Amino acid sequence: MKWDEFFVTGDPLIYGAMVSIVLVSLAILVGLTYFKKWGYLWREWLTTVDHKKIGVMYILAALIMLFRGGVDAVMMRAQTSMPDMKFLDGQHYNEIFTTHGVIMILFMAMPFIFGLMNVIIPLQIGARDVAFPRLNAISFWLFFAGAMLFNISFVIGGSPDAGWSAYFPLAGIEFSPHVGNNYYSLALQISGIGTLMTGLNFIVTIMKMRAPGMTLMKMPMFTWSVLITSVIIIFAFPVLTVALLLMMFDRQFGTQFFTMQNGGMDMLWANLFWVWGHPEVYIVVLPAFGIFSEIISTFAKKNLYGYKSMVISMLVISGLSFLVWAHHFYTMGQGAMVNGFFSITTMAIAVPTGVKIFNWLFTLHKGRIEFTTPMLYSLAFIPIFTIGGVTGVMLAMASADYQYHNTMFLVAHFHYVLIPGTVFAVIAGFHYWFPKVFGFRLNERRGKTAFWFIIISFNVTFFPLFFLGLQGMTRRMYTYSEETGFGPLNMLSMVGAIGLTIGFILLVYNIYWSTRYEPRDTTGDPWDGRSLEWSMPSPVPVYNFAVVPEITKRDEFWFAKQEGKSLSDKKIEKIHMPSNSGKPFILGIAFFFLGFFVVFSWWTPAIVAGIAVLLTMAAMSFDRDDGYYIPVEEVVQSEKRLRGERV
C-alpha cells in the first residue's frame, strides 16, 4: 500500500481536518505537560473505576461525537441546500451520511445514555458503585477505542460509504474494495463488546445491589427503563456481533456468507442487521422514556401516574421490539403474508407507547408545573415525538411503505423519533443531573434560550423533509436538478440546520458560562427532587452513601423530606471501595491497535496487538486486588464538609 492510499488525499476539507486534528492533539499534549496534569489525568480519570467519573467520560465523549456527527449533518444539508451544488462529490456525500448515521446512533446516543446511567443508577438504588466496577472501566475504554478507530477513518484509509446499515452486496469487497467498511466491521465489534458488558453490568447492579427494602416495584422509573434496556442489549447485540464477524470474514477472508455467488445471500445481512437494529432503537429510546418520567414527575410535583402500567408497557415494548424487524425491508421481495405479519406487530408497538404518552399527560394533569429547562425539553418531547410516532404508523403499513420507502419522508420520520426521543432526553437529563455531578446548576435563562433555538430549528430542519419525501426526493441523494423543484424546501431545511447549530453552540457556551459564574448549590437537592440521588450532597463523594438508606415506599426521599425524618438511623461504618486500575485503559489501547491493523490486513502487527490484548486480559485475571477501606473518621469528616458544616 502506498502512502497516498493510506492517507485520504485530494480534498481541501480533509486537509483542513488533518491540520486541525494535529493542532488540537499538539495543544492537548503541550497543555497537559505545561500545567503538569499528566499525573492527575492518569490517577483521576484514565485509571478510575468510579461509576460517576466513568459516566462523565462517556458524556464528554458523546458530546464530542455529537459535534462530529453534527458537522457531518450540516455538510450534508449544505450540499443539498441548492440544486446542483458542488460542495461535496458523490463519494464524499456517501461517506458522510454513513459516518453521520453510525456516529450519531452508536457513538453519540448510546454513550450519552450510558453516561447518564453510569452516573445515576447506583445513586438511585442506594449502591456505592456498579456490580463490576473494573468491568465498567473496560466497557468504557472499549467503546472509546471503537469510536476513535471509526473516527480516524476519514483521514486514514477512507470512511465507510455504504450507509449506516451497510447493506450487501454494496458493502461487500466486490463493490467496496477500499478499507472503509473494514473500519465499520471492526470499530463496531470492539465497541460492541463494551456495550454488551455494560448491559450485563447493569442487570446485575440493579438486580443485586438495591438498598434494603427497595423492591423492584419501588424502583425509580429511570432505573426500571435501564434494567429493561440492559436486557434488550444482552439479547440484541450478539446478533450484530455475529453479523459483523461474518461481514469481516466475507470482506477479508474470502468467505461467501453475504455475497451473491456460491450460495451466499446478500439479503441475509439486511435481515440480521435489523434483527439487531430495531431493538437498538428501543435501546436508545427506553432510557429516554425513563429520564422524561423522572423529570416530569419532579417538576409537576406529583408522583408518576400509572407506575405499574409504565413498567408493563416497557416490558411489552421490549418483547415486541424483537418481532418487527422486517418492517425495514418491506420492499425486498417477501410476500403479503410476511409483510402483513410485520405490519401488525409494528402497529402493535404504538399501543404501549401510547400508554406511556397518556401516563405523562396524566402526571402533568393538575400538577404544579415548574417550567425549568429540563422540563421544557420534556414537554416539547411529547408532541414532537407523537408526530414521529404517527408517521411511524404510516410507514408501518406495508402497502403504503412502497411509496415512502427510502425517501426523505423516512429520514424526517426517524429524526422526529430519534431527536426528541433521544437527544432531547439526554440534554434534559444532562441539565437535570448536572448539579448532582458538579455541584452547580446550568444557568436557566441561557439554557432556555438554547432550548428555543433547538426546538424551533429542529422543526424547521425536518418538517420540510416530509413534503420533500412525498414529492419523491429519495434518501442518500447527493444532488438534484433545478426541475425537480426540491430546491426551496431544502434551502429552508438548511436554514433550520444552521439554527440547530447555533442552539447547540449556545448550549455548550452555557456550560462554560455556568462553570464560571453560576452560584454553587449547597443543598444537594436544587430541584426539590424525589429519588435517592438528591438525598446526597453534591458533588457526590466517592463512596456515594455514607450510610445506605432504608426504603419502605416509592419516592422514599420525597416523603422523608415531608416528614422531616432521615433515611437511615444506622451509624457510619468503614466503607469498602474498589481500587483504580490502569489495565482497562491499556486493554483499550491494545484493542485499538488490533482493530487498526486488521482494518488494513497487516497481519504481523495485528498478531502482536492480539497478543497484547490476551496478555492484558491474563494479567487482569491474576490480579488479586481486593480494594481498600475508607475509615470511619474520614467518612465523618467528609460528610461534615460536604454538608457545609465546619470541620
Q: Which residues bind Cu ion (CB under 5 A)?
A: 278
Per CB under 6 A, 98 contacts ligand HEM: yes
C-alpha cell at 195: 456495550
322 Cβ contact partners less than 8 Å away, ≥ 6 residues apart:
235, 236, 275, 278, 279
Query: Within 10 A of 572 (CB to CB), how many other CB atoms are there?
Result: 13
Q: Which does 164 bind (CB under 5 to 8 A by kind): ligand HEM, Cu ion, other proteins, none?
A: ligand HEM
Q: Which does 475 bind (CB under 5 to 8 A by kind): ligand HEM, Cu ion, other proteins, none?
A: ligand HEM
Give the residue from 113, 195, 179 showing the smallest Cα distance to 147: 195
Helix/strand/coil (H/E/C) assignment for every residue in 164-190: CCCCCCCCCCCCCCCCHHHHHHHHHHH
Per CB under 6 A, 475 contacts ligand HEM: yes
Query: Which of 281/316 has CB closer to ligand HEM?
Result: 281
Rounded-to-integer distance, Cα 96 and Cα 90, Å: 10
Query: Which of 73/187 has CB closer to ligand HEM?
Result: 73
Q: Which does 254 bind (CB under 5 to 8 A by kind): Cu ion, ligand HEM, other proteins, none?
A: none
CA distances 182 to 68, 142, 185, 449, Å, are 20, 17, 5, 42
DSSP for residue 536 = S
CA distances 457 to 99, 407, 454, Å, are 23, 21, 5
274 Cβ contact partners less than 8 Å away, ≥ 6 residues apart:
165, 325, 326, 328, 329
Q: How far is the CB of 128 from ligand HEM (least distance, A)?
A: 32
DSSP notation for 16-40: HHHHHHHHHHHHHHHHHHHTT-HHH
Site string for ligand HEM, 7-46 (x = CB under 6 A): ----------------------------------------
33 Cβ contact partners less than 8 Å away, ≥ 6 residues apart:
none
Q: Which residues of the chain form contacts with other proteins (CB under 8 A)?
A: 207, 231, 235, 239, 265, 267-268, 271, 275, 322-323, 325-326, 333-338, 341
Rounded-to-integer distance, Cα 49 and Cα 59, Å: 16
Rg (CA), the chain: 25
Using CB atoms, what's the residue nearest to ligand HEM?
Answer: 101
Q: How far is the CB of 324 from other proteins (least distance, A)?
A: 10
Q: How far is the CB of 273 from other proteins (least distance, A)?
A: 12
Q: How far is the CB of 389 from other proteins (least distance, A)?
A: 24
Query: Which of 231/636 has CB closer to other proteins?
Result: 231
Rounded-to-integer distance, Cα 89 and Cα 85, Å: 9
Q: Which does 97 bind (CB under 5 to 8 A by kind): ligand HEM, other proteins, Cu ion, none?
A: ligand HEM
Q: How far is the CB of 407 from ligand HEM (least distance, A)?
A: 9
350 Cβ contact partners less than 8 Å away, ≥ 6 residues apart:
389, 392, 393, 396
Q: How far is the CB of 238 from other proteins (least distance, A)?
A: 9
Per CB under 6 A, 70 contacts ligand HEM: yes
Q: How far is the CB of 76 from ligand HEM (least distance, A)?
A: 4
Q: Which does 278 bind (CB under 5 to 8 A by kind): Cu ion, other proteins, ligand HEM, none?
A: Cu ion
Query: Which of 231/394 has CB closer to other proteins?
Result: 231
Q: Which does 450 bind (CB under 5 to 8 A by kind): Cu ion, ligand HEM, other proteins, none?
A: none
Query: Which of 230/363 has CB closer to other proteins?
Result: 230
Which residues contact ligand HEM (rule: CB under 6 A)? Answer: 70, 73, 76-77, 97-98, 100-101, 104-105, 109, 163-165, 411, 415, 418-419, 422-423, 461, 475-476, 497, 500
